Structure 1
Amino acid sequence: MNKIKQTLSTITLQKLKKNYWSVLGFGVIMILIFELSSAFILKPHNDEKIRKTPSLSFDFFPTSTTNQIINHEYYTLSYNEKQEQAEWIAYELKKSYVRSGNFKRPYFIKDPKVKTGSADWRNYKNSGYDKGHLCPAGDMQFAISAYNDTFFTSNISPQLHVFNNGVWKRLEEKTRYWAAKYDGIYVVTGGVLKAPLKTIGREKVSVPQYFYKILLDKSNGKYKMIAFLIPNQKSDKPLYAFVVSVDSIEKMTGIDFFPKLDDKTENRLEKGNDYKSWSFN
Structure 2
Amino acid sequence: MAKFRSNHKRVGKGSTGAVVKVGVFSALIAGLFFIFNLFTGGDFEKQPADKELEYYLPAGGEGTVIQKATYALSYNETHEQAEWVAYKLSRSTLQSPFVNRTDDFRPDPDVPSGSADPNDYRHSGYDRGHLLPAADRAYSTSAMSETFLMSNISPQARQFNGGIWRELEELTREWAKDAGELYVVTGPLLNMEPKGVIGNNEVTIPGGYFKVLLDLEEPQLKAIGFVLPNTISYEPLYKFVASVDEVEAMTGFDFFADFLPDEVEAALESKADVDLWRFDKEKFRKRIDNWNNR
Shared topology, TM-score over 0.5? yes
Q: Please, which of 184, 188, 211 is the counterpart of residue 213 of structure 1?
A: 211
CA–CA distance in 1 between the matches of 2:219 and 2:50?
20
Paired residues in the alignment total 235
Quote how far apart the aligned CAs of 1:202 are. Answer: 1.1
Name the residue aligned to 1:36. none
Worse-matched range after superposition: 207-216 or 103-112: 103-112
CA–CA distance in 2 between the matches of 1:226 and 1:168?
16
CA contact (8 A) 1:54 1:72 kept: no
What SS class does the counterpart of residue 138 from structure 1 fall into? helix
AA aligned opposite 2:267: R
Name the residue aligned to 1:89. 85
TM-score, scaled relative to structure 2: 0.75
Q: Please, which of 66, 69, 93 is the counterpart of residue 62 of structure 2?
A: 66
Quote how far apart the aligned CAs of 1:222 are. Answer: 5.0
Q: Please, which of 163, 184, 196 is the counterpart of residue 181 of structure 2?
A: 184
Quote how far apart the aligned CAs of 1:249 are. Answer: 1.5
1:145 partnered with 2:142: yes
Structure 1, residues 162-194: CA drift from partner, whole Å, max 9, x if none?
000000000000000011111111111001001
Over the matched positions of the two proteins, sequence identity in percent amounts to 43
What SS class does the counterpart of residue 220 from structure 1 fall into? coil
Change (3 A) 1:174 1:62: same
1:115-154 correspondence runs (5 A): 115-154=112-151
Change (3 A) 1:46 1:65: closer
- Which segments of 5 or more consecutive residues in structure 1 lack a partner in the other structure? 1-44
Structure 1, residues 114-145: CA drift from partner, whole Å, max 9, x if none?
11111111111111100000000000011111
Worse-matched range after superposition: 81-90 or 264-273: 264-273
AA aligned opposite 2:272: N
Name the residue aligned to 2:159. 162
CA–CA distance in 2 between the matches of 1:202 and 1:111?
16
Name the residue aligned to 1:250. 248
Change (3 A) 1:177 1:113: same
1:98-109 correspondence runs (5 A): 98-99=94-95, 100-109=97-106
AA aligned opposite 1:275: V
Name the residue aligned to 2:30. none
Q: Which has the higher helix share?
A: 1
> What is the alpha-carbon root mean square deviation over aligned residues?
2.0
AA aligned opposite 1:147: M
TM-score, scaled relative to structure 1: 0.79
- Which segments of 5 or more consecutive residues in structure 2 lack a partner in the other structure? 1-42, 281-294
Worse-matched range after superposition: 152-161 or 264-273: 264-273
CA–CA distance in 1 between the matches of 2:237 and 2:160?
13
Moved segments of 4+, more than 4 Å: none
CA–CA distance in 2 between the matches of 1:140 and 1:104?
10
1:76 partnered with 2:72: yes
Q: Which has the larger radius of gyration?
A: 1
Name the residue aligned to 1:234. 232
1:261-272 correspondence runs (5 A): 261-272=260-271
What SS class does the counterpart of residue 219 from structure 1 fall into? coil
